[in-house]
């Protein structure tokens, strides 16, 4: 597990992504979702074993002690968590973290690919002066916190590190809207993250995404859903959009060739 990281405030002359309207920043409608809707059959089994044997890790218990009604938990999503949380929450904020950029460098053998044909999903890479837009979820109910943490430990099991970062909602803000937001990161350390694929050309990554499909569906759907989710709150992530455009180009060429 990673130690908590502290990022220094960086001045951003021009925001990389701008929300369309402040109304999109917050969603307070708390929808209760039953467990059978949150997890697949395989994930239910993993959750039962994980929770009955050892529960949530000791580190997370210390960080989020749900026995205390005053503790509030925040989780930052920059990939599929943007459009599919999978847990109950009280508030959803659109915003960003500083000093990181989103990259399709993590291999996926459990959701969007297989061990034979791994897909590619996003992780975070340190990048001074850059920001990564996404959403932060606030979870205050103690039972919801326990369920969310247990669920995330299974869903994000191929992401080997956690960081606790400052989260901002205004492009030029120097004071965070929320501190110590939990973030899952897949590191480039092959000893601890055997699924890390690393950088490659846009064309190479696009071809791999087109080929890959896993239990959660085709890898290309993940890419297109991420692009759409970011655009919904005004974020034009160049890496994501360039990759999506290349995937569409290759698919279009293949379709023309086959007809």
CATH of the domain at 181: 3.10.490.10
- Residue 66 in this model has a pLDDT that exceeds 50: no
* 3-state DSSP assignment of residue 26: strand
Model confidence band, residue 59 (pLDDT cutoffs 50, 70, 90): low
The SS3 of residue 22 is: helix
In contact, 151 and 46? CB cutoff 8 Å: no
- Each residue's pLDDT tens digit, 111-127: 999 999 999 999 999 99
What is the model's pTM?
Answer: 0.77
Spatial distance between the Cα atoms of 4 and 180, rounded to a whole number of angstroms: 8
Q: Is 103 left (phi over 0), alpha (psi -120 to 50) or beta?
A: beta
Stretch 123-139: mean pLDDT: 98
Q: Which residue has the higher pLDDT, 99 or 30?
A: 99
pLDDT of residue 181: 98
4 in a structural domain: no
Beta-bridge partner residues of 103: 123
- Greatest C-alpha distance within the chain: 63
Structural domain containing residue 39: 22-258
**Of the listed ranges 40-49, 141-150, 166-175, 220-229, the one predicted with least confidence:** 40-49
Predicted local distance difference test score (pLDDT) of residue 177: 97
Whether 23 shows a pLDDT value over 90: the answer reads no
Is 227 within the bounds of a domain?
Answer: yes
- Tell me, yes or no, whether 7 lies in a domain: no
Residue 13 lies in a domain: no
Query: What's the chain's average pLDDT?
Result: 81
- What is the reported pLDDT for 248? 98
Q: Report whether 145 contacts 208 (CB < 8 A).
A: no
**116, part of any domain:** yes
10 assigned to some structural domain: no
Task: Show which residues are catalytic.
Answer: 156
**Into how many domains does the chain fold?**
1
What is the predicted pLDDT for the residue at 15?
A: 39
> How high is the pLDDT of residue 71?
86
What pLDDT shows up at residue 70?
Answer: 52
Task: Please indicate, yes or no, if residue 115 is contained in any of the structural domains.
Answer: yes
């Amino acid at each position: 597990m990673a130690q908590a990281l502290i990022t220094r405030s960086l001045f951003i002359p021009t925001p990389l992504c701008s929300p369309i309207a402040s109304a999109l920043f917050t969603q307070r409608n708390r929808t209760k979702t039953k467990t059978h809707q949150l997890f697949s059959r395989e994930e239910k089994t993993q959750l039962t074993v994980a929770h009955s044997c050892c529960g949530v890790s000791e580190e997370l218990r210390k960080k989020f002690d749900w026995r205390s009604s005053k503790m509030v938990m925040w989780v930052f999503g920059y990939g599929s968590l943007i459009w599919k949380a999978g847990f109950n929450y009280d508030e959803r904020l659109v915003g960003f973290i500083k000093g990181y950029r989103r990259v399709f460098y993590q291999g996926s053998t459990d959701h969007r690919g297989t061990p034979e044909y791994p897909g590619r999903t996003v992780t975070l890479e340190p990048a001074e002066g850059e920001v990564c837009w996404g959403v932060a979820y606030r979870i205050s109910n103690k039972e919801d916190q326990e369920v969310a943490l247990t669920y995330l430990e299974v869903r994000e099991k191929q992401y080997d590190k956690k960081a606790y970062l400052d989260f901002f909602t205004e492009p030029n803000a120097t004071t965070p809207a929320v501190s110590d937001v939990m973030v899952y990161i897949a590191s480039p350390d092959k000893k601890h993250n055997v699924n890390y694929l690393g950088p490659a050309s846009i064309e190479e990554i696009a071809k791999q995404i087109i080929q890959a499909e896993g239990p959660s569906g085709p890898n290309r759907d993940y890419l297109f859903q991420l692009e759409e989710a970011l655009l919904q709150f005004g974020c034009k992530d160049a890496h994501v959009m360039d990759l999506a455009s290349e995937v569409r180009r290759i698919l279009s060429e293949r379709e023309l060739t086959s007809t």
